[in-house]
Amino acid sequence: MAKNNPGDILTSDWNPVVGCLRYSAGCRDCWWLDGIMPWQKRLGNLPATVVEGAATEIEARFDPAKLRPKKGIVGVVQHGDLFWDKIPDATIARVLDVVDQIAHEREEKNARLPAGRLPDTTKYVIWTKRAERMANFMEHRYPQGVPAYLACGVSVENQALADERLPHLLRVQGYRFVMIEPMLGPIDLSQYADVHWVVLGSETGTDRVRPMNLDWARQVRDLTKAHNLPFFLKQVGSSHKHPVRTLDGRTWDEFPEGFAK
């Protein structure tokens, strides 16, 4: 489970919509399409109709009861990209309707807590490669700003994709984070430091893994420290079974204030 994996920023995830299409360099050996999806189909947790290049709504998972017990940091639509152009606006809205409902329930519970009891600070995180669509959607849905229980991230793999996608992330009024995974080249984030969190990880898995130069990770780490940003390093090696999580003798497991697994 994500909760028990020290290299994962999530406590758990919620996937009422699944499916995606290889979109950019980091998708070449997609962990979900190549590993998790066929495995979940064999277990009977996904219908046989789930195939690469198709978006599938799993009706039973839209039940708010499926999201309600999940706490900590919850990934929303981790088994796909919520802002993929094959997912209709109505479906994105439906996903966020459930998130908003459960978050509001928690806020009401927190308001009734007796003195001395700690509030429930569950956060919901979404990250995407389709940054422009996410920014447009969030601006329209939340004109006063994205609620504090929801964080929006953009995934980038190299400098060209950072320059293409991150200007759209900066349009999001709310918690913003950069997900650099897999890191396939050096990335200068100095133009995009107006975010709340940076997460970084190397490519792992197959014998075709593209190694990450540790100096690339150091450059990002040093920028986050210069800007007082929390930095989370998922891994720097090529094996997901034997992850290497240290950089210059220490781990980097920093979260924004209010985010806790």
pTM (2 d.p.)? 0.96
Question: Tell me, what's the pLDDT at 163?
Answer: 98
Q: What are the backbone dihedrals phi and psi of residue 161, each rounded to the nearest 5 degrees, phi first?
A: -75, -35
236 touches 214 (CB < 8 A): yes
Question: Tell me, what's the pLDDT at 2?
Answer: 79
Q: Does residue 245 sit within a domain?
A: no
Q: How many residues does the chain have?
A: 261
Q: Give 97's contacts (C-beta < 8 A, 6+ positions apart).
A: none
Percent of the chain's residues with pLDDT above 90: 95
Question: Tell me, what's the pLDDT at 42?
Answer: 95
Question: Tell me, what's the pLDDT at 240?
Answer: 85
The strands making up 73-76's β-sheet, listed across from edge to edge, are: 12-14, 73-76, 123-128, 150-156, 175-180, 197-201, 231-235
Question: Tell me, what's the pLDDT at 3?
Answer: 78
Please give the average per-residue pLDDT across 139-147, as a whole number: 98
Q: Does residue 247 sit within a domain?
A: no
User: Which tens digits make up the pLDDT trace of 15-72?
Assistant: 999 999 999 999 999 999 999 999 999 999 999 889 999 999 999 999 999 999 999 9
In whole angstroms, how far apart are CA 51 and each of 33, 37, 40? 8, 8, 12
Q: Does residue 244 sit within a domain?
A: no
User: Which tens digits make up the pLDDT trace of 70-112?
Assistant: 999 999 999 999 999 999 999 999 999 999 999 999 999 999 9
Q: Does residue 61 sit within a domain?
A: yes
Q: Does residue 243 sit within a domain?
A: no
User: Which tens digits make up the pLDDT trace of 172-223?
Assistant: 999 999 999 999 999 999 999 999 999 999 999 878 999 999 999 999 999 9
- CATH number of the domain enclosing 173: 3.20.20
Q: Does residue 141 sit within a domain?
A: yes
Q: Does residue 119 sit within a domain?
A: yes
Q: Does residue 254 sit within a domain?
A: no
Total count of domains within the chain: 1
Task: Provide the residue range defining the domain that includes 67.
Answer: 2-235
Question: Tell me, what's the pLDDT at 1?
Answer: 55
